[in-house]
Structures are given as structure tokens and as C-alpha cells.
């Protein structure tokens, strides 16, 4: 059998050692690497249908895997005006006004990526925006996707005129007179507005998702762990694959929300392993808290506003029972846990499940934004992976602690923020990702942030927590070896070897030797998923 693909004149990088393999070429067929060798012997394997690419000394790594993102819901969320680059309220107002001028009468304005730091010392609410949204139904996702800013007209259409109680930790933020400010915290509150606003058609979402996936492939991504399966997303994965538009592999974890009964949990178990050639349901996503910026995290002591004192699950013991049930059935879990109390409880639940049912599947905790030393040390002993997003630190917090996140936590807990290196050094498996659309998905940008700990927009700024920086090799392993370990696929993914997946990312230069501050701009010249070229630079 002739190979489907041959790469010649390559430098093959081993992410285990950081060194180059003693080969200059590889062949792939049937989605696997079938041979490694020198150019002459590998070229001799080519048949008439083999694609042969001379990469001209470029560096080949195993395909990069984003350890945490929301690809399909993110594709829909980002169809509105992008506010992620707005540093202050003037910029926010200008962007919203420009978008409003394009709308037909009565049409909704959608926005995303709004950073609470843009509000400075003013409360986050529509009052700070002036009259830019007057009479316009608008729904603006805050950057964390755990909160929304709804205009007065949107609140009216949703029937929101005051506070409400929810079955999960959600809130309609109101002023002293009980009038909504426009800020909605967490899913249950946001869903009130989402229920009445128009949605794009399935075809519009499919086209948008296909375009996003092409852009992700061009950035070097070959796979991702998708942390939701809401709405029709499983059908959308299938449609994208049928159309040849699925340029990445996806490991999908549907949500288990508070209030889930035994039947709901059983349904999530039944979904496991379903999927297609490049995607499958593998795991369950749960939430232990919200976010520090919103005051909805779960901290062991209140934040500086007296908030972040409660779990997302009204009864955390129910969460513990669900984790035990899923563990017993062999289902891996991923728990959103940002505050120290949330992370501690998630680890406690895994520890209890392992004590009662044995080692079981590999679990993970997402985000881990502030934890004390004793919590850091527990991850390795429980075989729980630490899923980290370095650019949440570098893009949304500052070394001088003037940002909203740091002001809410105070110096002591902010100094324990985003402890990537401490977790690594304590033996935890650290997987890196973007949480897109919360932050940009560029893997080189995220690996760069993990290395230099500076904001991408101003690399002259001092690093935030430089002791938590990862080495170049650790950052690369967080995109290759660790995702394979989490998936239980370390024998067939994450490395370059015969029999391993033909998922490849090809860089113009060695990502381990490029300076930290230049890494984000390192060109990706070729991306291959399952032996299929999904991106090829004009230079090749």
C-alpha cells in the first residue's frame, strides 16, 4: 500500500525530549504515520496518488490539541460585534454605535468579548454605556461567557423587571431600588434573554463554524477538547464531517447541570462513545462555580466585595454523588472550578469516588485560578489533570493588580493565581487551552503567554507571576503529550512515531528555540489532521 502523504526535508521534533528525531521524512496512510526515515527511502514509497510535500527544513511536531474550547457555541456567539479589543468605555460605545447603525429597525444587536476592565471604576451595567443602546434590543456577552449585558429593551422583551430566584447560582443584578441594571450572571439568568432573541439558522451556524475551523487549522490546531454539547451541536459535528468541513478532531464533553436527576445522568452515560470518524462524546462537563470577575466563584473566604461565597450547585454534596456515579461507570469528568473552595471540593469528590470505586477514569479540573499550596499538591496523587488557560492571566489580569480580577481577590489570593508552573512541578498533568471564545485560540499565542506571562498587546509590560512561567518544552507538551494522556491515547497520539496518528503541525522554525516574545508570530506552514492536509501555506 502506498502512503497517502509524504513529508520530505523535515526536522521532526520529539515533544518528550525536546530533541530532533534522527529522520528527515515521514509517510502517512490510513490516518497513521506508517514510516520514518531519510528523504530517499521515504520518497521511494510514493505511489501515483501520494501527496508529496517538501517542507524545506520546517519543523514538524505532533498535531497541536487545544485542551479546552467551545468551538460550535463559540462560532455562534462570535457572529456579533467583537468588543474584545475595547480597553475603555469610549471604545465600547463607539463599537456599539457603529454596529447599531447597520441594523434594521427592531433588529437585535449582538456583541461578545466585553471585558469588565473597560468599565474602570464604574459598575458594569447599561447605565455606563449612555444612550448608545436606547430602544435597541441588545445582548452582549461579557468576555467570560458567564454573564451578559442586556439593554433595557431586551429586558422588557424577556419580561425581566426585577430580581428572581433560580435553581442554580444565577442572578439578575438590580440596583438599590430593585431595578435591573442590565447585568445578568450565569446561565439561568442569561437564558431568559436568549429565549426571546432571534437565532441564526442552522445553515448560517454551519457555515460560520466551517470558516472558524479552517482558521483554527491555519493556526496549527489539529484537535480540541470541546467543553459543551448544547443544542444541536452533536448533529452539527456530524453535518460538518459529512461535508468534509471538519478539519479537526473533537473530544466532546456535554454538560451536567445542577438539578440533573438519575435519568439525566444515565442519558449522559449512554452518549459516551457516540460520534463520527473525527469526533466523539468522551466525558461530562460540570460546573462547581462561576467566575471571580462576576463575584460568582466559590472562595473559601469572600472576595473584597463580600461575594463569591457559594457553589454553583446549591447542594455541593449532590455534585459529589454525581461525580461518584460517573466515575463508577467509567466516565471521565471535567469540572469548571475557579475559586479555591470549588477546586478543593472537586478534588474531594474525585478522592471519594476513587476510594469507593477504585482508580477509574482520568478526571480533570478546569481553570484553577487561585489555589493554596496544599491543593496544588493533591492533583498528582489523584491523577487529576490541571486544565489551564495561560492567556486568561496574561490578557485579563495585570502584574500591578489594577485589574478587576486582582482587585476582587486582594493581593494574597491574587499572588496564588494561575499556578501553571507550581502544578507542573508538583507532578500534575497540565494541559493548555484557550477556552475560546473567551480568549483567542492561537496555540502559539497561548504557548507564548505560558512562557512570558505578558499581555500580547504590550510585551513591554512586566510579567504577571513570572515564577509560574512554563519552559518552552513544557508549553509544547501541554499541547501534545498531556492532551493525549487525558484522553487515554498516549500510545497513539501526542508523538511522532510509526503507528501514531498522522496529526501534524509544521512550523517555519523550531518553536522551542524561537524567543518567547516572538513565538506568537511563528508561521504555521502546514497542518495535517488524520493524514489530510487542512492548511498549506503558499510557500509550500
Least confident of 12-21, 180-189, 340-349: 180-189
Cell numbers at 87, concatenated: 480597553
Confidence of residue 488 (pLDDT cuts 50, 70, 90): very high
Q: What gap in Å lies between CA 67 and CA 500, rounded to an integer?
A: 19
User: Which residues are CB-contacts of 156 (< 8 A; sequence separation ≥ 6)?
Assistant: none
pLDDT class for 259, splitting at 50, 70, 90? Answer: confident
Question: C-alpha 34: how far from its chain's center?
Answer: 32
| CA separation for the pair 4, 1 (Å, rounded) | 9
pLDDT of residue 313: 95
> Virtual CA dihedral for 174, 116, 302, 422, nearest 10 degrees?
160
Predicted pLDDT of residue 420: 98
Report the alpha-carbon distance of residue 323 to residue 346 in Å, rounded: 9
pLDDT value for 231: 86
What pLDDT is recorded for position 295?
94
pLDDT at 253 exceeding the cut of 90: yes
Q: How far apart are CA 13 and CA 220, in angstroms?
A: 15
Q: Are 529 and 247 in contact (CB under 8 A)?
A: yes
- Which pLDDT band, with edges at 50, 70 and 90, does 359 fall under? very high
pLDDT at residue 168, rounded to an integer: 81
Pairwise CA distance, residues 97 & 81, whole Å: 11
Report residue 439's pLDDT band, with 50, 70 and 90 as the boundaries: very high
Q: Specify the pLDDT at position 169.
A: 82
Q: Is the pLDDT of residue 143 over 90?
A: no
What is the mean pLDDT of the segment spanning 488-515? 98
Check residue 121 and give its pLDDT.
87
Among 520, 499, 124, 538, which residue's Cα sits nearest to residue 305?
Answer: 124
CA-closest candidate to residue 111, choices 102, 120, 296 = 102
Residue 282: pLDDT over 90: yes
Q: How big is the CA angle at 436 (ends 432 and 439), to the nearest 5 degrees?
A: 85
Condensed to tens digits (0 to 9), the pLDDT of residues 388-421 reads 999 999 999 999 999 999 999 999 999 989 999 9
Give the single-character DSSP code of 495: S
Give the pLDDT mean for 196-206. Answer: 92
Counted residue by residue, the chain has a size of 540
What's the pLDDT score for residue 283?
A: 98
pLDDT above 70 as % of the chain: 100
Q: Among 388, 474, 500, which residue's Cα sits nearest to residue 435? A: 388
Mean pLDDT of 383-389: 98
Answer left, alpha or beta for residue 220, where phi above 0 means left and psi between -120 and 50 means alpha. Answer: left
The x, y and z cell numbers of residue 20, run together, are 530532533
Dihedral over Cα of 72, 219, 68, 60: its sign: positive
Rounded CA separation 363/282 (Å): 11
Which contacts qualify for 341-344: CB closer than 8 Å, 24 or more apart?
A: 341/289, 341/298, 341/299, 341/300, 341/311, 342/288, 342/289, 342/297, 342/298, 342/311, 342/312, 343/288, 343/368, 343/371, 343/375, 344/300, 344/371, 344/375
Q: Is the pLDDT reported for residue 82 higher than 90? A: yes
Q: How many whole angstroms separate alpha carbon 309 and alpha carbon 327?
A: 27
What distances in angstroms separate CA 214 from CA 37, 76, 236, 276, 459, one per listed residue? 30, 15, 16, 19, 28
Q: Which among 452, 427, 258, 435 is positioned nearest to 338, based on CA atoms? A: 435
Above 90 in pLDDT, residue 454?
A: yes
Evaluate if residue 374 carries a pLDDT over 90. Answer: yes
- Predicted pLDDT at 230: 85
Is the link from the previous residue into 437 a cis peptide, with omega within 30 of 0?
Answer: yes
Mean pLDDT of the chain: 96
| 304 pLDDT more than 90 | yes
pLDDT at residue 145 tops 90: no
| Three-state DSSP class for residue 437 | coil
pLDDT digits (tens, 9 = 90+) for 103-129: 999 999 999 999 999 999 899 999 999
Element (H, E) at 477: helix 472-477
SS3 151: coil
Amino acid at each position: 500500500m502506498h502512503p497517502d502523504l509524504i513529508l520530505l526535508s523535515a526536522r521532526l521534533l520529539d515533544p518528550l525530549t525536546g530533541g530532533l528525531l534522527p529522520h528527515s521524512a515521514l509517510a502517512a496512510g490510513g490516518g497513521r504515520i506508517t514510516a520514518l526515515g531519510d528523504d530517499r527511502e521515504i520518497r521511494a514509497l510514493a505511489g501515483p496518488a501520494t501527496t508529496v510535500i517538501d517542507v524545506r527544513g520546517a519543523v514538524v511536531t505532533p498535531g497541536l490539541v487545544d485542551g479546552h474550547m467551545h468551538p460550535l457555541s463559540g462560532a455562534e456567539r462570535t457572529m456579533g460585534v467583537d468588543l474584545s479589543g475595547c480597553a475603555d468605555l469610549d471604545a465600547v460605545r463607539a463599537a456599539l454605535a457603529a454596529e447599531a447603525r447597520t441594523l434594521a429597525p427592531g433588529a437585535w444587536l449582538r456583541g461578545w468579548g466585553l471585558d469588565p476592565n473597560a468599565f474602570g471604576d464604574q459598575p458594569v451595567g447599561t447605565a455606563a454605556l449612555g444612550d448608545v443602546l436606547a430602544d435597541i434590543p441588545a445582548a452582549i456577552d461579557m468576555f467570560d461567557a458567564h454573564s451578559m449585558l442586556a439593554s433595557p429593551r431586551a429586558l422588557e422583551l424577556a419580561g425581566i423587571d426585577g430580581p428572581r430566584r433560580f435553581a442554580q447560582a444565577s442572578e439578575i443584578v438590580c440596583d438599590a431600588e430593585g431595578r435591573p441594571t442590565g447585568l445578568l450572571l450565569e446561565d439561568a439568568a442569561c437564558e431568559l434573554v436568549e429565549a426571546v432573541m432571534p437565532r441564526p439558522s442552522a445553515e448560517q451556524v454551519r457555515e460560520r463554524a466551517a470558516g472558524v475551523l479552517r482558521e483554527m487549522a491555519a493556526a496549527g490546531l489539529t484537535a480540541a477538547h470541546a467543553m459543551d454539547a448544547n443544542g444541536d451541536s452533536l448533529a452539527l459535528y456530524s453535518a460538518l464531517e459529512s461535508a468534509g468541513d471538519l478539519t479537526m478532531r473533537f473530544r466532546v464533553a456535554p454538560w451536567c447541570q445542577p438539578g440533573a436527576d438519575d435519568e439525566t445522568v444515565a442519558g449522559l452515560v449512554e452518549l459516551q462513545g457516540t460520534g463520527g470518524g473525527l469526533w466523539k462524546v468522551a466525558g461530562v462537563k460540570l460546573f462547581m462555580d462561576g467566575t471571580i470577575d462576576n463575584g460568582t466563584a466559590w472562595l473559601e473566604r469572600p472576595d473584597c466585595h463580600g461575594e463569591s461565597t457559594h457553589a454553583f450547585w446549591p447542594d455541593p454534596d449532590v455534585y459529589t454523588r454525581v461525580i461518584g456515579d460517573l466515575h463508577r461507570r467509567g466516565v471521565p469528568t471535567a469540572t469548571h472550578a475557579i475559586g479555591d473552595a470549588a477546586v478543593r471540593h472537586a478534588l474531594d469528590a474525585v478522592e471519594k469516588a476513587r476510594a469507593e470505586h477504585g482508580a477509574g477514569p482520568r478526571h480533570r479540573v478546569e481553570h484553577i485560578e487561585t489555589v493554596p499550596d496544599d491543593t496544588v499538591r493533591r492533583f498528582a496523587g489523584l491523577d487529576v489533570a490541571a486544565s489551564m488557560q495561560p492567556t486568561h492571566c496574561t490578557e485579563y489580569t495585570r502584574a500591578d493588580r489594577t485589574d478587576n480580577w486582582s482587585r476582587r481577590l486582594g493581593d494574597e489570593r491574587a499572588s496564588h493565581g494561575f499556578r501553571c508552573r507550581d502544578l507542573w512541578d508538583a507532578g500534575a498533568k497540565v494541559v493548555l487551552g484557550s477556552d475560546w471564545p473567551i480568549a483567542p485560540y492561537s496555540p502559539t499565542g497561548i504557548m507564548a503567554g505560558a512562557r512570558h506571562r505578558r499581555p500580547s498587546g504590550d510585551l513591554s509590560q512586566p510579567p504577571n507571576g513570572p515564577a509560574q512561567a512554563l519552559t518552552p518544552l513544557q508549553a509544547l507538551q501541554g499541547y501534545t503529550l498531556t492532551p493525549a494522556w487525558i484522553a487515554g491515547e498516549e500510545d497513539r497520539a501526542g508523538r511522532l512515531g510509526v503507528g501514531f496518528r498522522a496529526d501534524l503541525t509544521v512550523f517555519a522554525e523550531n518553536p522551542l528555540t524561537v524567543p518567547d516574545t516572538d513565538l506568537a508570530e511563528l508561521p504555521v506552514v502546514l497542518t495535517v489532521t488524520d493524514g489530510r492536509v487542512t492548511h498549506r501555506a503558499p510557500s509550500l
